Amino acid sequence: MGLQGINVLAAEASAEIVHVSGWFLSNVWIIPAIPAASFFAILFFGKRMPRGGSELGIIAVGASLVLALCTVGQWISTVNGAGGAAVEPVVNRWTWWVAGGVDFTIGTLVDGLAVALLFVVTAISLLVHVYSTDYVAGDVRYTHFFAFLSLFTAAMLFFVLAENTIQMIVGWELVGVCSFVLIGHWWEHKPNSDAALKAFLTNRVGDIGLLVGVSVLFFAAGGTFSILEINTRAIDGEIGHTLLLISALCLLAAVISKSGQFFLHTWLPDAMAGPTPVSALIHAATMVVAGVYLVARMYGVFFEGMVIAGSSINALALIGGITTLVGASLAFVQNDIKRVLAYSTISQLGYMVMALGVGAWTAAVFHLFTHAFFKACLFLGSGSVSHSVHSFDMKKDMGGLRKHMPHTFRTFMIASVALAGLPPLAGFWSKDEILAGTGGWGVFGATGGNGAYTAMLFMGMATAALTAAYMTRCIYLTFFGTYRGHGHPHESGRRITVPSSPSAPAGRTCPRASRSCPRAGPSSSVTTSNRSLPSTSTSRRSPMPRPAGPWPSSRRSWR
């Protein structure tokens, strides 16, 4: 079975269902509640505190990270003790109100997908909080900034743990509002306020699709908002294909706007007007990741609605493929280091959406996981560089910085190699699985290939080459040659350099570290249905040589 390195995301069909229990899994609501409480505490009392409330935000997110790690550990121990049986997701649900025979509930849904994102969001948010204490030091709205960083984190965690589509909408909108506030943090400068407004309005286009899609699913699924029930009924054929297709297309509109897919991608590069720590959080762990997570969480609807198993092309795969090529092409011609990374994010999100569109669910979420860490490292590194040279222009004001900023150069280099997809770093394995998952290797005569999504394979391969090219250009213009700026560049302080350090090795060692991750399928409820989603391991024997190690060749199978 392929992708053993990230078996957190793979669930094997089994007649036996293991019911999970545990204090951390049952009380996971505390994880988003802590940063949410810190938002109010910082807002009301932050200015009276010695460090402007930043210490409260760091403590809150740190506590959430500890609880997230405990939750991950409890899930892993349960899965490892299940003996290969399917593990039922942990659902905690409380009735909010009852009206017209419809139960409006609030609750949490915990499975392997959720716990993986809990770790990503809390870990990267903690690094960003620490980094920000130096980066925005002396800012006139320092306390306000940390308050909304905490709320941003809480909103994304709430979205990740949503048990029903109503909660998902609330988390989705909260993430959008927080991004608007933080992108426009320096609103006195018109480009910043314009960028925030553009991001807000562009995402409202997708929000209409989300509301319509959720409404259609509510009536089509017999009056339920439960994500598990909707996915199960979609897989069991209890919802008509036409309604599923309409719902999937409406939800896809939301994904296109939130995750910067072609043709609503233009807000994302402009959002670089915000502080660099905000850019790191948006691109690595919140906001743009929400769209990909929506598809992964509602995958039963997309899989059946777009007939992913029986297609050679579908809207999800096509949009992802176009986006990944467009983003990589535009990244190659940018001179602003943050805009290079912004278009890079667009391209990598396109990879994830394309993977989901071809049925490579595990590969998509694996790439989301790896991308979060090396992209956070890249953004934090770009902030370190700009903090030193007081500019983001690589061509005009940078060059030769490896001599002046050796620590930043090392971490940026490692993350760049991971992004470029070179072995043995994490980016290579996740991209390789996406390409293998297209099923297009049959055109080269490889075993197991059927050419199902051949166009997506070629788009992915072209993007991989472009990614290596634009990151080589970025590194050369920034760190090699002679310094073209003014003044005397120097290495940033420890509060800026240290937070980028954990992200670089995470991007390097992710394939090994993820071997002990928890498992979950694209729809954890499908193990109890008569029909099932495709195997979440996407693998196919590649005609390209693979290095020896714990990553066997794989094959995409349908169960």
pLDDT band at residue 486 under the 50/70/90 scheme: confident
- Indicate the helix (H) or strand (E) that contains 109: strand 102-110
Q: What pLDDT is attached to residue 553?
A: 29
- Convert the pLDDT of each residue in 297-336 to its tens digit: 999 999 999 988 877 789 999 999 999 999 999 999 999 9
**In the predicted model, is pLDDT for residue 5 greater than 90?**
no
Calpha distance 307→421 (Å, rounded): 30
Cβ pair 141, 49 in contact under 8 A: no
Query: What is the three-state SS of 359-392?
Result: CCHHHHHHHHHHHHHHHHHHHHHHHHHHHHHCCC
SS3 at position 164? strand
Name the DSSP letter for residue 393. B
Give the containing element (helix H, strand E) for 99.
strand 90-99
Cα separation, 30 vs 25, whole angstroms:
10
User: Which DSSP letter does residue 534 get?
Assistant: B
pLDDT band for 78, please (50, 70, 90 cuts): confident
- Residue (of 449, 63, 124) closest to 285 by Cα position: 124
- What's the rounded Cα separation, in Å, for the pair 30 and 414? 35
Tell me the C-alpha distance between 248 and 246, whole Å. Answer: 6
pLDDT band at 504 (very low <50, low <70, confident <90, very high): low
Q: Give the other-Cβ count within 10 Å of 44's Cβ.
A: 12
pLDDT score at 443: 58
pLDDT (tens digit, 9 = 90+) per residue, 93-144?
Answer: 998 888 877 888 899 999 999 999 999 999 999 999 999 999 999 899 999 9
Q: Over range 56-79, report the average pLDDT.
A: 96
| Gap between the Cα atoms of 311 and 107, Å rounded | 35
Higher-confidence residue of 56 and 487: namely 56
Residue type, 22: G
Q: Counting beta carbons within 10 angstroms of the beta carbon of residue 21, is it exposed (0 to 12), middle (13 to 18) or buried (19 or more)?
A: exposed
Query: According to the model, what pLDDT value does residue 532 have?
Result: 41
> How far apart are the C-alpha atoms of 277 and 132, rounded to whole Å?
6
What 3 state SS string does 316-358 have?
HHHHHHHHHHHHHHHHCCCCEHHHHHHHHHHHHHHHHHHHHHC
Nearest to 346 by CA among 394, 282, 391, 403: 282
438 pLDDT band (50/70/90 cuts)? confident
> Nearest Cα to 435, choosing from 414, 466, 468, 463?
463
Say if residue 458's pLDDT is above 50.
yes
CA distance 346 to 338: 13
Match 């995402």 to its residue by tokens. Answer: 203
What is the pLDDT, as a whole number, of residue 309? Answer: 82
φ/ψ (deg, to 5) at 531: -115, 165
Q: Answer yes or no: is pLDDT of 535 > 80.
A: no
When comparing pLDDT for 444 and 320, which is higher?
320
260-274, 444-458, 528-542: least confidently modelled range = 528-542
